[in-house]
């Protein structure tokens, strides 16, 4: 019978201590049970009927991947103030100060989410809800209740009343990002909440958000008629803004490389971030400086 690999056992124990991961988290990553990890670390795995030839290759693969991740230098992309992000902040401020309804829409990858989050981080009175396709009116109200620090238990009506009472005349701002995911009833709820509380309302999302706000049969005319500003960000960002973002992320890169990044980003910050991360990773692996050739090569690997 194969004996335990004591060096591997020690390495796993050291990784556990250094990473702070518990046995359940380790088990998930390795693909086994928490009990198996416990027995392996305690040296009782074989006594309990375990097979080292089965578990140790999994542990080795897991630890190799963790080593590789630790050595990987990731590019940190911070928030960059551009004309577009300033326009977003301006209309959000208008909604906040005036208790108005504002819609921000545009294609994916234009920096909407980062700009919205940046405003909310700087203005704690703003309540940010990030919607997803699983959202219902009840889920929305529970999220709002939690953010407003009232009980998230009870019926939809109970939640609405509690949140309304808490936010009424508070001067706060309700922000829903990826609001195109909100179903009709949830949109009706935010409209009523806006009316009941006087809070400003910002709905940010993809272009179909505007169609959703109109409703297929005009069901949301009361909400759509309350929109004071609809900021259309269009299909892409201008090159000068992309250049600003690239320069902030890669201050040591030369102008030619930055322009190449802009060229292959197709007006999209999401594509640019993927391109920059991949190009930086490639340059680091090869021990060379970021350059035009790397950008060109890596751009061919990104889905357009």
Supply the CATH number for residue 67's domain. Answer: 1.10.260
Q: Do residues 99 and 227 share a domain?
A: yes
H helices, E strands: number in the chain: 15, 5
Q: Is residue 1 part of a domain?
A: no
Q: What is the DSSP letter of 200?
A: E
Q: Do residues 118 and 176 share a domain?
A: yes
Pairing of strands 200-205, 173-177: parallel
pTM score, two decimals? 0.78
Q: Own/partner pairs for 60-68, CB < 8 Å, 24+ apart?
A: 60/8, 62/26, 62/29, 62/30, 62/31, 63/8, 63/11, 63/12, 63/15, 66/15, 66/19
Q: Is residue 44 part of a domain?
A: yes
Determine the structural domain holding residue 110 and report its residue range: 83-232
Give the pLDDT confidence score for residue 72 in this predicted structure: 66
Averaged pLDDT in 10-residue chunks for the chain of 304 residues:
86 93 94 94 89 93 86 75 97 97 95 96 97 96 96 95 96 97 93 95 96 74 80 95 94 93 94 91 85 89 74
Instruction: Please state the domain count of the chain.
Output: 3
Give the pLDDT confidence score for residue 217 in this predicted structure: 63
Pairing of strands 173-177, 126-130: parallel
Give the pLDDT confidence score for residue 227 in this predicted structure: 87
Instruction: Among 232, 247, 282, give the residue marking a domain's end.
Output: 232
Q: How many CB atoms lie within 10 A of CB 303?
A: 5
Give the pLDDT confidence score for residue 87 in this predicted structure: 97
């Amino acid at each position: 019978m194969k004996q335990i690999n004591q060096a591997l056992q020690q390495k796993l124990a050291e990784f556990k201590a250094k990473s702070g991961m518990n046995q359940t988290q380790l088990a998930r990553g390795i693909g086994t049970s928490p009990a198996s990890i416990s027995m392996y670390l305690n040296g009782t795995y074989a006594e309990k009927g375990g097979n080292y030839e089965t578990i140790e290759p999994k542990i080795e693969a897991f630890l190799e991947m963790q080593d590789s991740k630790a050595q990987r230098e990731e590019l940190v992309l911070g928030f960059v103030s551009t004309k577009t992000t300033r326009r977003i902040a301006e209309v959000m401020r208008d909604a906040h100060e005036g208790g108005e309804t504002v819609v921000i829409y545009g294609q994916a990858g234009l920096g909407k989410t980062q700009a919205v989050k940046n405003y909310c981080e700087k203005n704690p009175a703003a309540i940010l809800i990030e919607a997803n396709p699983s959202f219902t009116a009840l889920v929305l109200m529970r999220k709002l209740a939690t953010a407003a620090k009232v009980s998230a238990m009870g019926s939809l009506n109970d939640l609405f009343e509690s949140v309304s009472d808490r936010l009424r005349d508070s001067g706060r701002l309700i922000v829903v990002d990826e609001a195109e995911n909100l179903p009709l009833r949830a949109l009706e709820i935010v409209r009523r909440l806006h009316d009941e509380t006087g809070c400003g309302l910002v709905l940010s999302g993809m272009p179909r958000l505007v169609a959703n706000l109109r409703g297929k049969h005009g069901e949301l005319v009361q909400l759509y008629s309350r929109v004071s500003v609809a900021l259309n960000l269009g299909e892409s960002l201008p090159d000068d803004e992309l250049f600003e973002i690239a320069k902030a992320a890669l201050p040591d890169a030369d102008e030619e490389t930055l322009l190449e990044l802009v060229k292959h980003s197709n007006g999209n910050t999401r594509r640019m971030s993927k391109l920059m991360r991949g190009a930086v990773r490639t340059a680091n692996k090869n021990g060379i400086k970021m350059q035009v050739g790397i950008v060109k090569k890596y751009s061919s690997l990104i889905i357009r």
